[in-house]
Amino acid sequence: MTAVRHPVLTIENLSIDYLAETTVEAVQDVSLTLYRGEILGLAGESGCGKSTLAYGITRLLKPPAFITGGRVLFSSREGYDLDLSELSGDDLRAFRWDKIAMVFQGAMNSLNPVLRISEQLEDVFSTHRPGMTKAERRRRCGELLERVGVDRDRLRAYPHELSGGMRQRVMIAMALALEPQVLVMDEPTTALDVVVQREILQEITELRSELGFAVIFITHDLPLLLEISDRIAVMRAGRIVELDAAPVLYTQPKHPYTRRLLSSFPSLTGARGDFVRTGSLGADTSLEETTQTPATEEVAS
């Protein structure tokens, strides 16, 4: 018997434009469903619209970027549905960190350099949980650091006293502070060495299992997504061109662009290949060919 999957975030025909002298259609008619407790990978080359989509989902877009169509629905585990386009002001700020949080691209450099780690973590609770005492906030911050593999003694440290991996863990702890139901991670392991990257990915999967949140994990690194994701959506020129379970997408890719992405990563064994022909933007693959068929939940699943 197939287990029933419950959606937590539903993106319906979302379109985002950058309005300037020439309008740029950064995200075009994207529809995705994120199910409770799953890791949904979002893969694609730089400039394809992945980060713009993430900012649109979390309502963090700034001009000249505007949502021009579609909507994002949040289905709470408490039993209510919410159209995020209807939120504004204090309601939006309260929702954004409490129910859905984001780890930004380059997050390890996002900490305030002149404030101790404790002050920056405690600020989340001061803003969203004003009833907590200072002792409760400090205890909770220590628990958060230990949960992501950082000793609580580091609460008194400044960001420059931490390694890049530790700063990234602090940002993940900050995103998880209020135990959100959705975590959007935009290139969370960029610029980290492979050993630290592996440790952080392991922490994310363990925390997902422990806390039950769902993850949208955005990266251009398709092999990484194949390892940690339940499903993967492939994005090209602002559209989702393929969506499937990770094992199926790896063994039976349907779209030409997905096949190009998979073949762009060199094998450790076998004959040496021709990069021009096997690269993700190989000479024999045109833009028209790789964007002609947007994927849907029904077609790709």
Q: Break the chain into its structural domains and give their ranges.
A: 7-99+184-300, 107-179
d(CA 247, CA 144): 33
What is the β-pairing status of strands 231-236 and 39-43?
A: parallel
Q: What does the longest C-alpha to C-alpha distance in the chain come to?
A: 64
CATH code at 7-99+184-300: 3.40.50.300
pLDDT in tens, the chain (301 residues): 446 789 999 999 999 999 988 999 999 999 999 999 999 999 999 999 999 999 999 999 999 999 999 999 999 988 889 999 899 998 998 899 899 999 987 766 789 999 999 999 999 999 999 999 999 999 999 999 999 999 999 999 999 999 988 998 999 999 999 999 999 999 888 778 888 888 888 999 999 999 999 999 999 888 889 999 999 999 999 999 999 999 999 999 999 999 999 988 776 676 665 544 334 344 334 444 444 444 544 334 3
Positions of E strands within the chain:
7-18, 24-35, 39-43, 65-75, 81-83, 100-103, 182-186, 214-219, 231-236, 239-245
Do you know the residue count of the chain?
301
Contacts 24+ apart (CB under 8 A), 281-289: 281/45, 285/256, 285/257, 285/260, 287/237, 289/256, 289/257
* Burial of 245 from C-beta contacts in 10 A (0-12 / 13-18 / 19+): middle
Instruction: Give the C-alpha separation, 283 to 136, whole Å.
Output: 59
**Spatial CB neighbours of 149, under 8 Å, sequence gap ≥ 6:** 169, 199, 203
Rounded to two decimals, the pTM is 0.86
Bridge partner residues of 69 (DSSP): 15
Quick one: tokens of 2? Answer: 């197939």
Residue 297 is predicted with a pLDDT of: 45
Rounded to an integer, what distance in angstroms lies between the CA atom of residue 171 and that of residue 166?
Answer: 9
Sign of the Cα torsion 219, 221, 226, 228 reads negative
